[in-house]
Structure formats: structure tokens, C-alpha cells
Structure 1
């Protein structure tokens, strides 16, 4: 549990388990070590995975499931028990963040959890602090960029008024406890939602030239523009001191219905390879507005998940096949 220094890698992976054909948990951790994957995000506590992570030196984001938020929000004892059962009971796991909830938003089915989110974050933070771990494990929550009502140009970034009401107190809380904001940033969805306005090259980090200039800052890729719009929104909400950790980003290799200008599907293996390999290289530096870099980022996802609900494209984000072979060459070094 004790952080003995930060790994050099800025890239991790999301490890989802909504599949009926995945390798064993110890095999997955072995695959991570063989592939030089030094950071992992878990969406909820899983004892087998946490046991396999013990002693691996892989840094972990551990999620509090949305359905657990009401109980934790209403009881400090429940939060203490959650931390005891899922963090303190695994002293050889290098926990880095607790991600309380995921993508709570007034625009989705998760809106019901909005009243529980900040109280749950506060109770989990209190439990982490009582355990003497507050200087080692940060508490935050992952948001969608869809909470922005204005995102273009980045200098006009602002939260939607419907989101500002609950995000303002969360931002203030994160500033007070010196924790980053977690954000899920998906150029794929922005591109497929607006193919007439956004080029595939701009979304895949392969634009041959500057696409636009904003506040004298030059933008060559959509990822930077999305992240900087979120930074501006934070500045306008009193969160200018916050860093953003990108807890999800990636590109699906199949299952999508959107096509690029040449009529080919956007969800090609070649496009997934291009995006994820370029993402790994790109986040070594910062964004035009926050050039200090690097950007801690987690690719979605380790494997395809054939039991994930929703449209077919949701099942095809994996870097590896169930037989542990990479879908395409990818280098985490």
C-alpha cells in the first residue's frame, strides 16, 4: 500500500471484466508486467484481481461502484468498512486513487446518484485519512467531457449550467484536499458525433498541420482541445489549480456505424492502433494550455468485453484478445 516512488510510465489501462472468456486474474497481471503496463484502473473491488495485484508494483485506481454510493454517502461507518475491506486488507497493492462513482451526470441514467456523490467522496476521504493514507491515496471522481456546455474553442470551455450546480462543490472539495479531477476523454465519440466538422486525422493525432489557433495556442489534435476546454471550465469554476488525470481514452476496433470521409468504418483496427499508439507518445508532454506535462492517462481497455451492455461498439475497445495476444502492435515502453 505504501507508495515507494512513482513509476515513469504515464499510461495505464482500464481492466473491465464483463466478458465470459477472459484469462485468469493472475494471468492478466502477468500479461501487464510482460507488456510493461505499470498502472491499472479497476471499476470496482474484485478480490481475485486485488490478490493477483499484490506485490506486482502496479499502481491502481480503485473504483467505488455507483450502486454503492447511497450507502457510503449516508454512513461514515459504511465508508470505513469499504476502505477496510478493499484497501487496508490488501497491504501489498499500490493504490494511487479511489475513484468514487463513474460518470455521474444529469444527462444520463446516473443522475439519480448526484445527491450522493460529494457526501460519498467526503466519507471515503475521511476513511482514507483515518487510516493514515491520505498522503498516499487521492480521492476523486471520473467525469464525462459531456458535462461541458461549451467546448469549442477551448478558451470558451464551460460546464453546462445543469452540471455546474453539482460540479462546483466537487471542484471546491478537490481543491481543498489537493486531489486531481479524473476525466474520461473520448475523441472517438466527438468525431463520430460531428464527422462533418472534425477530420479523422485530427481525431487520430495525425493531422499534418495546425488545425486551428485559439488564444495564440496551436491545436493539432482533438484530444488536446477537449482537455484544454475542460481546464478552462475548471478555471472558471475555481479549480484552476487542479490537474486532470485522464481515466479513460481509447478507440474501438469494430462495431461502430460511423464512417470516415472515404466511406470506411471509423472502427478499424488500423484506426484503433493509430490512436492508442499515438496517445501513448503524445501524453509524454502536456497540452497547449498546460504544456508542463506529462498527462497521466489510462487506455480503455485491456480486453474486449462481450457482455458489456449497450451498442455493439461498446464491446470492442480491447488492446488484447482473450488469448492474451495483442490485437495490434503496441508499445508501453
Structure 2
């Protein structure tokens, strides 16, 4: 996932300051048995039962400035962009991530004060890699017209650019990529999904541990004790970055969530518990790095038109609903 800082003073730097999400395999995690499964998914259109859940979660989001929310649009009955922005504002959500430069959304964001991460569609990436002119043209068309009225914080590549298991061939690029990110002071954008780690091994990973609901230490890693899977996954990423000389690289969790339907342990109660605990937790950081961690929840709405590749739970990870709007 490529990302870059966007500023009104120099829009060309938006592409040149790009950064990449690393998919960190188990082979380069920390020495303990920690779980890192950077899998990308989306979600679907929500039911009325989640309205109360959303209202409750909003109370937590307002108090945590490091929290943002993904805004996906693969929805049959999508709210107008102006209403979505109004929902963010009335809910106190100050950070948004969109998956492509939706002109209606960017127009509605003008003067809102909401910062936004703008995605690049996969089909554009090859052209950007081979033609600076194409990259600059994209910025001039999709970014420049909205600056400075829209606070565009980063430009990010889309998810699942090359869906596959981790390849040893990618290892050669990791050091160069992380060095570039450190030198440009650009962050690493990571998708972190404890849910997928949990459903892949529910025998050894307890549900409370995945839901950030454990009352005590579950995993001891040297002098670090872990009460939740999220911290274990994040700290395994931090440890991996330290091993390749990128200890100072800022990491942003650009996508994280828990489904409310369509899969193992995918219930409204579990989703509510997970989001509530996560929102309260990230402002304090992780066990290894106890400082605020910028985190984007997945997502505002369920996406009922999303192509199901891995399971129907990928359509059901919203915090809000569209029914009876």
C-alpha cells in the first residue's frame, strides 16, 4: 500500500513521498509466538440492530483523537456524500480513509476539517511506476483541485495489489522500502486484523484475547506481557522493523475491524466489544510502544455489493447502518 504526504505547497511531493505497507510473515516476527496476519478485507450494508452500537462507539471515538474510520462505497443504497460528511462531523470523527479519489466525497470534505487518506486504484499503479508524468497528472487531477480546502494527509495504494502468500522474492525489497520510508519520514500503513488470526486458530487463540477482553497476561514475551492479540500483532511488526533497521518508522493502522455477521464469532456483541475496547486502547499504544497509535476502523458502512472472496463476514464490518436512514 503506497502512501504519501499531500500538501498544498508541493503537490508533486505527494507521489514522490510514497510509502508501502509490508506484509510481515511469521518468519520475521519477534521471537515469541505472536500472530501477524496482514490480510485485507472490506464489509457491507448494516442492519438496524447496529444503530445503538454505533451511537455507543461514537462516544468513545470523540474522546480518542487518534481514531479514524474507513469509508467504503460498495453499497447498493449509499448515502449522499454530504450526509456522510455530516455524520462524521456530528459523530466527532476527524479522520477518514477513502479507497479512490471520489470527487463527490472530496467536494463534500471542503472546509470540514476532516483529514482524509485518499486511495489510488490498483490499475493506476503500474502507470505511476513507469511514468512520473502519469503520476503527476493524477495528482493534478485528483488532489490539487481540493487543496488547501481539504486536509489530505496521505495518498495510499489500494489493498490486495498482488493477493498471494508471502514470497521470499519480496524480501529483497523490504530493506530498500523501509529505508525509503524512514528517509522521507513517511509512515508505514498496515492492515491489522486480529479477527483473521483468531479464526485461523481458535483452539490456541482465545476469544477474549482477540477481543481485547482478557483480565490478565496471556502471552509472556521476555519482559513484555500481552493481554490482547492486537498488541502482540503490532509489536511483532515493530520487532520485525527493528531487525531491519527501521525502528523509528511510524506505523499507522489503516484498517482494522471485527465482523458483526457471516463468520465464526461474527456477532453484534463481539463486534461491539471489540470496537469499544480497541478505541479505548489505541490512545495508549501497545505493550512495546505505549504511545498513541493512529488507527482507522473498518468501517462506517457495511458493503452489500462487495465481491465475496473469503467469506460473507467481509461484507459485515460496519459501525453504522443505512437502513431507515
TM-score (norm 1): 0.75
Is contact 1:105-1:163 (8 Å) kept? Answer: no
Q: How far has the Cα of 1:324 moved from its partner?
A: 7.7
Q: How far has the Cα of 1:241 moved from its partner?
A: 1.1
Q: Secondary structure at the match of 1:197?
A: coil
Counterparts of 1:209 and 1:273, CA distance in 2: 21
Is contact 2:64-2:279 (8 Å) kept? Answer: no
2:293 is aligned, of 274, 292, 295, to: 295
Is contact 2:64-2:280 (8 Å) kept? Answer: no
Paired position in structure 1 for 2:25: none
Instruction: Sort the Cα spacing of 1:55 and 1:324 in 2 relative to 1 into closer, same or farther, 3 A.
Output: farther
Within 5 A, what are the aligned runs for 1:34-183? 34-91=90-147, 92-105=149-162, 107=164, 161-183=168-190
Q: Secondary structure at the match of 1:97?
A: strand
Counterparts of 2:161 and 2:124, CA distance in 1: 13
Counterparts of 1:8 and 1:229, CA distance in 2: 24
Report whether the alignment pairs 1:317 with 2:301: no
Q: How far has the Cα of 1:105 moved from its partner?
A: 4.8
Instruction: Sort the Cα spacing of 1:235 and 1:312 in 2 relative to 1 into closer, same or farther, 3 A.
Output: same
Counterparts of 2:65 and 2:278, CA distance in 1: 13
Instruction: Sort the Cα spacing of 1:46 and 1:106 in 2 relative to 1 into closer, same or farther, 3 A.
Output: closer
1:216 is aligned, of 192, 204, 223, to: 223
Instruction: Sort the Cα spacing of 1:324 and 1:295 in 2 relative to 1 into closer, same or farther, 3 A.
Output: farther
Is contact 1:252-1:268 (8 Å) kept? Answer: yes
Paired position in structure 2 for 1:306: 304
Structure 1 unmatched runs, 5+ = 109-146, 148-159, 259-265, 326-333
Report whether the alignment pairs 1:189 with 2:208: no
Query: Larger RCO: Structure 1 or Structure 2 (Cα < 8 Å, ≥ 6 residues apart)?
Result: 2
Is contact 1:303-1:317 (8 Å) kept? Answer: yes
Structure 2 unmatched runs, 5+ = 1-6, 10-62
1:243 is aligned, of 250, 268, 279, to: 250
Is contact 1:31-1:324 (8 Å) kept? Answer: no
Paired residue total: 263
Counterparts of 1:296 and 1:8, CA distance in 2: 10
Paired position in structure 2 for 1:280: 279
Q: How far has the Cα of 1:166 moved from its partner?
A: 2.7
Paired position in structure 2 for 1:132: none
Instruction: Sort the Cα spacing of 1:88 and 1:173 in 2 relative to 1 into closer, same or farther, 3 A.
Output: same
Is contact 2:261-2:268 (8 Å) kept? Answer: yes
Instruction: Sort the Cα spacing of 1:8 and 1:287 in 2 relative to 1 into closer, same or farther, 3 A.
Output: closer
Greater shift, 161-170 or 80-89, is seen at 161-170
Q: How far has the Cα of 1:231 moved from its partner?
A: 0.7
TM-score (norm 2): 0.77
Q: How far has the Cα of 1:162 moved from its partner?
A: 4.3
Q: How far has the Cα of 1:103 moved from its partner?
A: 4.0
Is contact 1:23-1:323 (8 Å) kept? Answer: no
Instruction: Sort the Cα spacing of 1:319 and 1:107 in 2 relative to 1 into closer, same or farther, 3 A.
Output: same
